[in-house]
């Protein structure tokens, strides 16, 4: 039975050869304007994605029904607790993004993603360093409204991004990729529940 209240679902997808073998995360970070900072964010779309991901793996995802239009990479230092929770916003509609499909590079990941129950309308709008929109809350104002937490690790995981969430990083620095698919006008889903249904019942990708 599908638990729609759970804000994450692990997908039955192989991670073998997902990354371009020439991609070195630390070398990449050192060559950007976010080098040496405790956290970083980068955005990729179209052919730029092949700098980071294997084309064969993207083709494999497409064959499974996951069309990747873009993705973001997030980096955070070990023990970093960002002082805000946020909701991802779709650029063209100003609506919350329904979900991302995430995985953490390290199989020893001990961070956890945390979700909070707060009204969307109570947040403050802002832009990320890569000009993507989000709405945020001070963590101190929402930390007593926690809904759930989950360690993603090196498993492709559907995560709910349309409600307030944050990441608590523990002993391991955290590199994560968040894949994004077309949401606006997608006939397969309009909200979290219908997206979960689509991935579980149509694509048969959600692990039981």
Is pLDDT at 61 greater than 80 in this prediction? Answer: yes
Q: What percent of the chain has pLDDT over 70?
A: 99
Q: What are the extents of the domains in the chain? A: 8-202
Is the pLDDT assigned to residue 91 strictly greater than 80? no
* pLDDT (mean) for 134-155: 95
CATH of 8-202, one of 2.60.120, 1.10.730, 1.10.357, 1.10.3470: 2.60.120
Mean of the per-residue pLDDT values of the chain: 93
Question: Once rounded to an integer, what is the mean pLDDT over residues 74-79?
Answer: 97
pLDDT digits (tens, 9 = 90+) for 97-109: 999 999 999 989 9
pLDDT band at 127 (very low <50, low <70, confident <90, very high): confident
Mean pLDDT, range 26-45, rounded to an integer: 94
What CA–CA distance (Å, rounded) separates 67 from 62? 5
Q: Which residue has the tokens 């990441």?
A: 167
pLDDT of the residue at 202 = 96
Q: List pLDDT tens digits, range 38-52.
A: 999 999 999 999 999
DSSP letters, 110-155, are --EEEEE---GGGSEEEE-TTS-EEEEEEHHHHGGGEEEEE---SS
Q: 8-12, 88-92, 110-114: which has the minimum mean pLDDT? A: 88-92
Per-residue pLDDT band for 1 (boundaries 50, 70, 90) equals confident
> Is 111 in contact with 168 (CB distance < 8 Å)?
yes
The rounded distance, in Å, linking the Cα atoms of 124 and 173 is: 28
Predicted pLDDT at 131: 80
What is the rounded distance in angstroms from the CA atom of residue 73 to the CA atom of residue 95?
Answer: 21
For residue range 171-186, what is the model confidence (pLDDT) as tens digits? Answer: 999 999 999 987 767 8
Taking the CB of residue 149, how many other CB atoms lie within 10 A of it? Answer: 16
Q: What local confidence, expressed as pLDDT, does residue 22 receive? A: 96
Cα–Cα distance between 114 and 73 in angstroms, integer?
A: 18
Query: Which among 66, 72, 30, 27 has a CA at the least distance from the CA of 49?
Result: 72
Give the per-residue pLDDT at 191: 94
């Amino acid at each position: 039975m599908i638990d729609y209240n759970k804000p994450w679902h692990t997908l039955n997808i192989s991670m073998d050869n997902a990354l371009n073998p020439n991609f070195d995360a630390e070398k990449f970070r050192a060559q950007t304007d976010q080098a040496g900072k405790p956290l970083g964010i980068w955005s990729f779309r179209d052919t730029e994605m092949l700098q980071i991901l294997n084309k064969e793996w993207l083709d494999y995802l497409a064959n499974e029904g996951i069309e990747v239009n873009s993705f973001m990479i997030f980096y955070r230092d070990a023990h970093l607790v960002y002082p805000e929770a946020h909701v991802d916003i779709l650029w063209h509609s100003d609506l919350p993004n329904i979900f991302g499909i995430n995985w953490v590079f390290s199989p020893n990941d001990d961070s956890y993603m945390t979700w909070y129950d707060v009204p969307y309308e109570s947040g403050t709008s802002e832009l990320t360093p890569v000009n993507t929109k989000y709405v945020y809350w001070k963590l101190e104002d929402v930390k007593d409204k926690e809904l759930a937490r989950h360690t993603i690790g090196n498993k492709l995981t559907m995560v709910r991004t349309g409600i307030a969430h944050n990441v608590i990083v523990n002993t391991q620095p955290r590199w994560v990729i968040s894949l994004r698919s077309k949401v606006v006008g997608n006939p397969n889903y309009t909200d979290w529940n219908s997206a979960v249904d689509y991935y579980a019942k149509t694509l048969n990708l959600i692990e039981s």
